[in-house]
Amino acid sequence: MEIVSHKGDITELEVDAIVNAANSDLWMGAGVAGAIKRKGGDSIEKEAMEQGPVRPGEAVITSAGNLPAKYVIHAAGMPPGGRATVVNVEFSVKHAMNLASQNGVQSIAFPAIGAGVGGLSTEESIRAILEGIESQEEDLSVQRVFLVGYSDNAYKIIERIIKS
């Protein structure tokens, strides 16, 4: 499996699945979730909420509406209005990777789950994401993972961690 960094808007990536930094109620407010809903359409949120709520650390998969991706995987790193934890991010990523594999996903893009309003630093988030990916116990269909930084600073942090 190849892990690469990408700078830009996750909603514009042409991959099989993008990951939403979700809350456990699965409603889509601001940040990455808001961008996905704005660009992909309300149907993504409706589909997600029909599968929830979930516990922090879990994930659900939906269609991607008007986005170039086929799927959106909603990784719940935190409760609504609460704080993300490294453990919840790690487990939500593990669940996201399993859902991806169950749906034949070969390329997937992750934002910094739990960073920003979740309270984690970008570095904490990216390290938890990598731990979640690396802790997989089964063979996965995923061949390429993009870690996406929207800002220059986030991208630089991702680059540094991947290269270390």
Query: Predicted confidence band at 10 (pLDDT cuts at 50, 70, 90)?
Result: very high
Q: What residue type is 161 in one-letter code?
A: I
Cα separation, 132 vs 92, whole angstroms? 8
Which of 151, 144, 64, 80 has the alpha carbon at shortest distance from 117?
Answer: 80
Cα separation, 153 vs 50, whole angstroms? 35
pLDDT digits 0-9 by tens, 111-161: 999 998 899 999 999 999 999 999 876 778 999 999 999 999 999 999 999
pLDDT of residue 65: 98
Q: Kindly list the structural domains of the chain, giving each domain's residue range(s) and its CATH number in brackets, ordered by start.
A: 2-163 (3.40.220.10)
pLDDT digits 0-9 by tens, 22-62: 999 999 988 899 999 999 999 999 999 999 999 999 999 99
Cα separation, 123 vs 17, whole angstroms? 23
pLDDT of residue 116: 85
Cα separation, 101 vs 122, whole angstroms? 26
Instruction: Tokens 């570095």: give the residue.
Output: 123
pLDDT of residue 40: 98
pTM: 0.96
Q: Which residues pair with 31 in a beta bridge?
A: none
